[in-house]
Amino acid sequence: MQSASLEQPYKGFMILGSAEAVHNNSPCWFAAACVMVIRPDNVCIVAYRFQDSLLTYDDEDLSKWFGLFLAQIAIDHCLPPPAYYLTPMNIAWAVDILRRAADECKIREIRRPKLYEALDFLEQSVEPRWLVRRYRRELSGDRRNDREKDELREALRIATRGIQQACGALLVDKMNELAVRFREHKPEIDNLRWQLGVVRRPVQR
């Protein structure tokens, strides 16, 4: 059971603090936090969620306020600014998100909305699509020990390299198409050249 949340704007985000019952017959509540970004078209993007059933209180309102406090901590110390969530996705950014997730999967939770947004974007852009689906498939399930986390990191690195190669080829093809009328398309070609440089950055070993 979850009661109505407290919500307030904070540094360009909308934060929510809620109290969820430990179980139906318990008088205790645990705090939950949620951080959202509101797009100009009024679509809500969930940037962060956190709840821990060990953080229990016998006061429902206190739990809600503590949830707001947890959301503020996430914004102050963990999350990028709102513009990160509002900037339109492109190939370079999507590949960079996948590469960083592959590098950092042992030290933090990588299964966040922006990662799945990048995967959705690339799945519509890259051929063959199974390259992106392979990365997505590796995200399923929990890795609970160092060996399993090492296996996940290696699998994501391999999947990322395949996606990088496909994206590099796609960007080169686009630049070649535009180069026929180079002067007219120079700004777009320069942007694609920059994206290609980002896409070709190696995955750390």
- Give pLDDT tens digits for 85-94: 888 899 999 9
Kindly tell me the burial class for residue 149, based on how many C-beta atoms sit within 10 Å of its own C-beta (0-12, 13-18, 19 or more).
middle
Give pTM, 2 decimals.
Answer: 0.71
Average pLDDT for residues 54-59, to the nearest whole number? 80
Sign of CA dihedral 75, 77, 83, 87: negative
Q: Is 60 exceeded by the pLDDT of residue 205?
A: yes
Mean pLDDT of the chain: 89
Q: pLDDT grade, residue 44 (50/70/90)?
A: confident
In angstroms and rounded to an integer, the radius of gyration of the C-alpha atoms of the chain is: 21
